[in-house]
């Protein structure tokens, strides 16, 4: 690889490492596995770095991470998961959320996400954690926009079922939110550990 490509790779790793680690954590729910996943993905991408189109490097590395995560899940016989957290805003004089409660809720979300299939998990994370458009997710995962919409909807529905733990009042409230959602304009807010 040329020294220019080496320099671009070094800058990329320096600039994107934190975001890639966060994405890896969402895929694996384990910080050590996330580090291993990022390292393996970067190791696999490095020989092809010079051939990548500028501006598509992040998508290529994330797609590699999703594929590696899927392969690992198949070897284990279960899917690894991505944590995400739906929050309400703190505007209008609302009290700040309790950090201890947020940690507890995040743990519940991580546990629920462990039950999602790999593709749903990847779509939910890319769409709601990385805040990519449906078109961007489709391009990164090389699936149709319709498949992104379907996987995101099914993933959110399954997470809602798992997180409400069968509480009919909460499911009714969540269903009201879903009924008012516009599929093309999903305003779900996501808290991302930074």
User: Alpha-carbon distance 3 to 17, whole Å?
Assistant: 20
Orientation angle between helical segments 134-141 and 145-164, nearest 10 degrees: 100
Q: What is the pLDDT of residues 31-71, one digit of tens each?
A: 899 999 999 999 999 999 988 888 889 999 999 998 898 88
Residues 82 and 149: their CA atoms lie apart, in Å, by 17
pLDDT value, residue 102: 60
- Domains (range + CATH), the chain: 1-80 (1.10.1740), 85-194 (1.10.10.10)
Q: Angle at the Cα of 108 (from 80 to 184), degrees rounded to 5?
A: 75
Which stretches in the chain have pLDDT values below 50?
78-94, 168-194
């Amino acid at each position: 690889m040329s020294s220019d490509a080496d320099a671009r790779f070094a800058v990329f790793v320096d600039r994107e490492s934190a975001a890639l680690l966060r994405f890896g954590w969402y895929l694996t729910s384990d910080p050590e596995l996330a580090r291993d996943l990022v390292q393996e993905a970067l190791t696999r991408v490095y020989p092809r770095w010079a051939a990548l189109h500028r501006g598509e490097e992040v998508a290529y590395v994330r797609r590699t991470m999703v594929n590696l995560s899927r392969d690992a899940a198949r070897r284990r016989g279960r899917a690894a998961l991505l944590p995400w957290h739906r929050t309400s805003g703190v505007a209008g004089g609302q009290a700040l959320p309790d950090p201890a409660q947020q940690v507890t809720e995040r743990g519940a979300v991580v546990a629920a996400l462990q039950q999602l299939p790999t593709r749903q998990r990847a779509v939910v994370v890319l769409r709601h954690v990385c805040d990519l458009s449906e078109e961007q997710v489709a391009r990164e995962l090389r699936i149709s926009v319709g498949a992104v919409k379907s996987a995101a909807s099914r993933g959110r529905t399954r997470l809602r079922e798992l997180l409400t733990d069968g509480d009919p009042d909460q499911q009714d409230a969540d269903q009201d939110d879903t009924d008012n959602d516009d599929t093309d304009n999903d305003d779900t807010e996501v808290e991302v550990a930074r």
